Amino acid sequence: MLIEVSKDIYRRHFSSDPNPYISEDFISLVENKTDKVVRLMDSNDASMGLIGGLKDNYLCAPFSAPFGGLHYTHEHLSYEVVYDFIAGLKEFLREHGIHKITITLPPDLYQSNMNAKCINAFIRLGFKLLTPEIINWIDLKKFDGNWVKYTVAQNCRKAIKNNLSFHVVTDKQSINEVYMIIFRNREVQGRKIHMTLNDIVKVNTVMPVDFFLIKDHNDESMGAGVFYRGHEKIAQGIFVGDDLDNRSLGIMDLLYSSIYDYYKKMDYDFIDLGSSGLNGEPNIGLLRFKEIHNCAASLKYTFSWSTQDELNATNSENYATKT
């Protein structure tokens, strides 16, 4: 049976985090965006746990992050333990009158074994699978400077010939330039940015945030990137953007190439370059762009379950039986 526990009790059993978005530091940063932080574990088997945000009788994990997922004592838990925990989530919702739960698992890059067992159990237990997001990532251990498409190298040479240069920036003015380039890039393309500069700076208080600029010979900023380092071996791309009027100069190619080299030298194994789409609908151009920059593709899964879904299923079964 799942029970709600205090932060102290929860952390007594789960002292490490499979990904940065279920760490206490990050939870404390965003807990004001939910009515209540709920920490669940099994009263008889403290092998798995879940942190979610409860708002308007809706439990979300995560409640303000690209993914959340589950805590576990080790990634090789038996399937039975995983299945029983997920089954217990439904019972917890029923008993506490919570209408709905949504859980987004981290990409396989972070936990492939647990994902396989969780995904199977979610589906078998009747959770609804939302259209999976396509995410892209680069294996830095395999990256040797050669590109799957020769035009990337050509564009990098073009950028250098045009006197563009890569910079890691830390001063306030430069960080503001990073944000404004990304903001304008999205505005022109009709895409929203859901974080303010202040939001990003706050993240920098709980995990390292890197800010990058591509500048021309006049020191004008033309491309930018924001990346998190919340995992010991995986850097995560949060935002990238460029001056669309000058895209032909090879800005983005130089940016990607330089960022790969930057994290490879820091001994990172992977870069998670995030979703290539929105709400399950792929952005074909963005997906292709990442692929020609040596990125692999995989899926990020979101599952939901509600008491209404259960009621509808029961009514359908009853109707089928009567007819």
Main-chain dihedrals φ then ψ at residue 197, nearest 5 degrees: -60, -35
> Do residues 91 and 1 touch, judged by C-beta distance below 8 A?
yes
- CA separation for the pair 57, 274 (Å, rounded): 29
> Do residues 184 and 163 touch, judged by C-beta distance below 8 A?
no
pLDDT at 116: 97
Q: How confident is the model at residue 126 (pLDDT cuts 50, 70, 90)?
A: very high
Chain segment 265-303, per-residue pLDDT in tens:
999 999 999 999 888 999 999 999 999 999 999 999 999
| Alpha-carbon distances, residue 4 vs 8, 14, 96 (angstroms) | 12, 14, 11
DSSP 3-state of 77: coil
Q: Is pLDDT above 70 for 223?
A: yes
Does the pTM surpass 0.75? The reply is: yes
pLDDT at 247: 87
pLDDT at 2: 97
Main-chain dihedrals φ then ψ at residue 21, nearest 5 degrees: -85, -5
Q: CATH topology of 2-130+301-322 equal to that of 137-300?
A: yes
Class of domain 137-300 as given by CATH: alpha beta
- CA separation for the pair 283, 87 (Å, rounded): 35
Q: How confident is the model at residue 323 (pLDDT cuts 50, 70, 90)?
A: low
Chain segment 196-206, per-residue pLDDT in tens:
999 999 999 99
Class of domain 2-130+301-322 as given by CATH: alpha beta
Chain segment 237-248, per-residue pLDDT in tens:
999 999 988 889
Q: How confident is the model at residue 317 (pLDDT cuts 50, 70, 90)?
A: low
Sequence ranges of the domains in the chain: 2-130+301-322, 137-300
Chain segment 96-121, per-residue pLDDT in tens:
999 999 999 999 999 999 999 999 99
What size, in residues, is the chain?
A: 323
Q: Is pLDDT above 60 for 68?
A: yes
Give the mean pLDDT of the chain. 94
Q: How confident is the model at residue 311 (pLDDT cuts 50, 70, 90)?
A: low
Q: How confident is the model at residue 312 (pLDDT cuts 50, 70, 90)?
A: low
The terminus-to-terminus CA distance of the chain in angstroms comes to 37
